[in-house]
Amino acid sequence: MQRPTSPPSGSGRSVSSAAQAPADPYLVQPVSKALAVLAFVEDAGQEVGLSDVARALGLPKTSAFRYLYTLAAAGFVAYGSSRDRYRAGPRLHRGRESEIDVARLREFALPAMSTLRARFNETINLGVPDRDRVVYVEMIESSRALRMQARIGERHPLNSTSLGKAILAFMSEAERAPLLGAQLKAMTARTTVDPLQLRRQLREIARRGYAIETGENEEGLMCIGVPILERGGRPVAALSLSAPEARMTRPTRMDVITALRAAASGVSRRLGYRGGLPASAAAGAQGAGGRGLKESGI
């Protein structure tokens, strides 16, 4: 968690009943208020700002900041420095639903995947994270002879796939840091294996809301991926379209990005997420070639 440079100013209102505990000599009031902050962040279903917490619970901003900072330091809340907002942290998700109910995820995603396949006639993939890998849990293949070679059940590195990069970009730093600290696996000569370079890519992916990789996981293939978020804003899966690079013209890429984002947003909402992804940038759909950020199309 990256700490803000200083606690924000502003006194806010006095503590309201939302953050107060019943008069009970055995209740520890600061703990009760911290739990009220935690419950508010988790129940919001999207990222929240400091002012949102202070206003909803009737806390001074300085107090709300201290509770949020302490909860983030313990892993119960995740702080996103780029957006200066908070969401449920990794410790709230340990052991929950074995990360995600894959059968339920497939049920929600398959109609959108079928629509994407019918529109573009390219391979549509659904993947979930498993430590430093992404597992393909559903796939609708293109009818064209030249297409992606991966199969359902295969596990590919997070750093070499658009699915994995879309997931990594929306993880909290506490979840992401151990994955980037390990040696990154190269699938091709173009795979991003430099952690600093990958971090730059992930910041841009988080800003735009989608990932593009070209030839990093499979030579000659381009893949565009977007995250699927659950109620607390945590990335639990990703949706992607894969096609030979030659077929992914700039207009096609832009259409695919728009369609994938809409599809993933619909699945995320069915999982309880009520926020939104960053607005996509047309510049990110420009050509990919060479190495580094340009190679990833961002």
Q: Most confidently modeled of 42-51, 142-151, 158-167?
A: 158-167
Contacts of 208 (CB under 8 A, 6+ apart): 278, 279, 280, 281, 284, 298
**Among 14-28, 38-52, 281-295, whose mean pLDDT is lowest?**
281-295
Q: Determine, yes or no, domain membership for 291.
A: no
Looking at the structure, tell me whether residues 108 and 86 fall in a common domain. Answer: no
Q: Determine, yes or no, domain membership for 67.
A: yes
Q: Determine, yes or no, domain membership for 298.
A: no
Query: pLDDT band at 9, cuts 50/70/90?
Result: very low
Domain that residue 73 falls in:
1-92
- Number of Cβ atoms within 10 Å of the Cβ of 218: 20
Nearest to 225 by CA among 277, 289, 287, 290: 277
Sheet with 133-140, side-by-side order of all strands: 155-157, 133-140, 123-130, 235-244, 221-229, 211-214
pLDDT at site 264: 96
Looking at the structure, tell me whether residues 62 and 147 fall in a common domain. Answer: no
Domain boundary among 92, 115, 141: 92
Domain boundary among 48, 75, 92: 92
- Rounded mean pLDDT of 216-229? 95
CATH of the domain at 154: 3.30.450.40
Looking at the structure, tell me whether residues 81 and 224 fall in a common domain. Answer: no
Q: Which amino acid is residue 100, in one-letter code?
A: I
What rounded mean pLDDT belongs to the chain?
82
Given a cut of 90, whether residue 14 has pLDDT beyond it is no
